[in-house]
Chains A and B, each alone.
Chain A
Amino acid sequence: NAGVTQTPKFRILKIGQSMTLQCAQDMNHNYMYWYRQDPGMGLKLIYYSVGAGITDKGEVPNGYNVSRSTTEDFPLRLELAAPSQTSVYFCASSILEFPHPTNEKLFFGSGTQLSVL
């Protein structure tokens, strides 16, 4: 089972360059998320999506864009890379369960280590 797949695993960008971090899940989950983890800090939510065509901002959305054209894919776009975006990026997915929703069923990808120099 592939689960949540992120590519690339590592990337170095120059200031002002752009790139797209790819995320795909094969579990038919409706919810998908992008988190970033800075050194010595906890993960922070960048963007999330509750289904194809629906996205919304998280805690730290500035400098990023997302799209969700299919259930499986949730790419994260950096338009003008800045040193402050040096971080490890994690994509996650989950499925909302009723009648007692809990937050434990987040499935994370293995992360993308991004350095902006």
Chain B
Amino acid sequence: DQQVKQNSPSLSVQEGRISILNCDYTNSMFDYFLWYKKYPAEGPTFLISISSIKDKNEDGRFTVFLNKSAKHLSLHIVPSQPGDSAVYFCAASFMTTDSWGKLQFGAGTQVVVTP
């Protein structure tokens, strides 16, 4: 029973344009959300996070938006660069020490940035 869903398995975007990745969750008790990025033959690496008390968090070219009423979050990458070609995982958790590191992951979205 997947509690975090990424319904788009792939996304192709031109270099310089905006990439928008979407993620939905079913458990309204989640209060912390993360995006991880994964290159082939490597482990996931942390990209950006947001707690449920916020609706937006920015870090350079990456912005995450959270809509709690819709149980939806999105990751915007502006502008997209060829090095952004990777699989992006959405993850959710609870901000408690008992839940430390226990993340619920989505299935991932493969992003391809074309020249």
Contacts and interface: CB of A to CB of B under 8 A. Distances in A.
Contacts of A50: 100
Contacts of A42: 2, 4, 6, 89, 91, 104-108
Interface string B69-91: 00000000000000000000101
B13 interface: no
B94 to A, nearest CB: 9
B102 A94 contact: no
B30 to A, nearest CB: 11
Interface residues of A, number: 29
B32 A103 contact: yes
A31 B103 CA distance: 13
Contacts of A102: 32, 49, 51, 95
B46 A106 contact: yes
Interface string B12-31: 00000000000000000000
Which of A31, A40, A43 gathers the greatest number of chain B CB atoms within 10 Å? A43
Contacts of B44: 43, 90, 106, 108
A53 interface: no
Nearest to A30: B100
B44 to A, nearest CB: 5
A76 interface: no
Given A42-B108, A108-B44, A110-B43, A48 B102 contact: yes
Interface string A80-95: 0000000000101010
A92 B46 CA distance: 12
Contact of A45 (B6, B96, B103): B103
Which of B43, B89, B106 gathers the greatest number of chain A CB atoms within 10 Å? B43
Interface of B: 2, 4, 6, 9, 32, 34, 41-46, 49, 51, 89, 91, 93, 95-97, 99-108
14 contacts: A33-B101, A35-B105, A42-B4, A42-B91, A42-B104, A42-B106, A44-B105, A101-B100, A102-B32, A102-B95, A103-B101, A106-B44, A110-B41, A111-B42
